Amino acid sequence: MIYLDHNATTPLHPRVLDAMLPYLRERFGNPSSPYRLGREAYAAVNRARRRIAEFLGAMPDEIVFTSGGTEADNLALRGVTRALFKSGNHLVTSTIEHHAVLKTFGDLEALGHRVTYLPVDPHGIVDAAALRDSLAPETILVSVMLANNETGVIQPVDEIVAIARERGVLVHTDAVQAAGKLSLRLHALGVDLASFSAHKICGPKGVGALYVRRGTPLAPLFTGGSHEDGTRAGTENVAGIVGFAEALAVACEAQDEQIARLGRLRDTLEGEIRARLDDVIVNGGQAPRVANTSNISFKGVEGESIVLQLDLAGIFVSTGSACTTGDPEPSHVLLGMGVDPLAAKGAIRFSLGPTTTNEDVAFTAPRVVDAVRRLRALSSLGERL
Ligand code: PLP
């Protein structure tokens, strides 16, 4: 099996599993319990919080644990709009956000907020200058992702922060696909809120975090206990949180080496495919990208068909976001970049990870070429019949 869908999810790192197991077995206490078993769990959660804050360039009290990236995005967007509802109702985002962000903005629009969607250029980069024109006295929040999950294109969040700051507008970034792939110093970046998810970095599913810069107004989503300083009620996922911190440690320790290695492998994969097939476009290929991601359109074929052909060869890739699998519509990210709808339907996302080897890429490239050739031959046969 060759797994090239690390932007969808990743395998648990053995160090992460080892770190988690005691908290699933003997150290199973509730962090809110006053006796030793509870205090141990509470200490583990806070140790993880300190480690995560350090890796991200933040303070421990700025890390709020959630059930993953989707909840972190919802908490940021809904939490700020609720906390600032008296200050204004205008929000700004981009057309290429993950559905966890876009659909939340759609819901906020239905509730009466006004949302501006910033366009992206043909390379998949959000037009930061358009932000300046969109800002109004009633703008309260801008949300632009750090790295796109489909193309890997890195967004100009620093420029966005600079423009928003001038006008006193808060900035959220979905950093789910950036953690472990870019070096992140949240205080230096200057964002007010940032979302993270453990399962994208060889941690467990169902756990993530929202970074909330000190002093940022935020209303909780859930009512209940006073966990996470009242920001997120619900008994903490202790083992998950411990695993998240360990996963981030592993990712950060190996980050520079992985970026260089995966960048080389990604370039080899793209080079082999482009050398042997015509009508291939690397979407976002001219933009700064995270090293592990490659989004390639093969004209004249359906991405879904390539996925199925590669599956038969034991290679797992996707057509885009895992959350849109089964959706017949072409990717909103590629359409937003102005990619022709037919080319968008023929797109495949390869996302490499720490366990991807030279051999994996050497095995995959010719199988992609064969699959595309076969599918193109079939479709031209179909046209002739
Ligand atoms: N944001 C981005 C950019 C993502 O890629 C994902 C996962 O696909 C999410 C948010 C959602 O994260 P989770 O699966 O932890 O809810």
pLDDT tens digits for 238-288?
A: 999 999 999 999 999 999 999 999 999 999 999 999 999 999 999 999 999
Binding site membership of 294 for ligand 1 (Cβ less than 6 Å): no
The residue annotated as part of the active site, out of 17, 59, 323, 335, is 323
Identify the three-state secondary structure at position 254: coil
Binding site membership of 67 for ligand 1 (Cβ less than 6 Å): no
**pLDDT for residue 380 is more than 80:** no
What is the total count of domains within the chain?
A: 2
Q: Do 26 and 58 fall into the same domain?
A: yes
Taking only the tens place, the pLDDT of each residue in 165-198 is 999 999 999 999 999 999 999 999 999 999 999 9
For residue 354, CA distances in Å to 66, 68, 228, 245 come to 25, 21, 32, 17
Atom 4 of ligand 1, residue of closest alpha carbon: 176
Taking only the tens place, the pLDDT of each residue in 194-251 is 999 999 999 999 999 999 999 999 999 999 999 999 999 999 999 999 999 999 999 9
Taking only the tens place, the pLDDT of each residue in 130-161 is 999 999 999 999 999 999 999 999 999 999 99
pTM for this prediction: 0.97
- Domain CATH number, residue 32: 3.40.640.10
**CA of 37 relative to ligand 1 center, distance in Å:** 33
Name the strand (E) or helix (H) holding 347: strand 347-351
Q: How many CA atoms lie within 13 A of 268 on its CB side?
A: 18
Average pLDDT of the chain is 96
In sequence order, which residues have a C-beta less than 8 Å from that of residue 155 and are 6 or more positions away? Answer: 94, 125, 126, 144, 145, 146, 147, 148, 173
- Domain CATH number, residue 340: 3.90.1150.10
Taking only the tens place, the pLDDT of each residue in 314-368 is 999 999 765 555 566 899 999 999 999 999 999 999 999 999 999 999 999 999 9
Q: Do 238 and 283 fall into the same domain?
A: no
Q: What average pLDDT does range 278-300 have in this prediction?
A: 97
DSSP secondary structure code for residue 199 in this structure: G
Spatial distance between the Cα atoms of 276 and 173, rounded to a whole number of angstroms = 38
Cite the DSSP H helix spans in the chain: 14-24, 36-56, 69-83, 99-110, 128-134, 157-166, 186-189, 238-253, 255-276, 303-312, 332-336, 341-345, 358-384
Q: Where in the sequence is the domain holding 152, given as residue range(s)?
A: 14-253
Atom 10 of ligand 1, residue of closest alpha carbon: 69
Q: Do 247 and 213 fall into the same domain?
A: yes
Spatial distance between the Cα atoms of 24 and 8, rounded to a whole number of angstroms = 25
Binding site membership of 293 for ligand 1 (Cβ less than 6 Å): no
Q: Do 369 and 332 fall into the same domain?
A: yes
For residue 264, CA distances in Å to 125, 295, 317, 356 come to 23, 15, 19, 12
Q: Choose one of 98, 173, 210, 327 to mutate for the ligand 1 pocket test, by most ligand atoms within 8 angstroms of C-beta.
A: 98
Residue 323 bears catalytic tag: yes
CB 301 within 8 A of CB 375: yes
**pLDDT for residue 73 is more than 70:** yes
Q: Do 135 and 109 fall into the same domain?
A: yes
**Residues written for the chain:** 385
**pLDDT for residue 41 is more than 80:** yes
pLDDT above 70 coverage of the chain, percent: 97
Residue 76, classified by CB atoms within 10 Å of its CB into exposed (0-12), middle (13-18) or buried (19+), is: buried
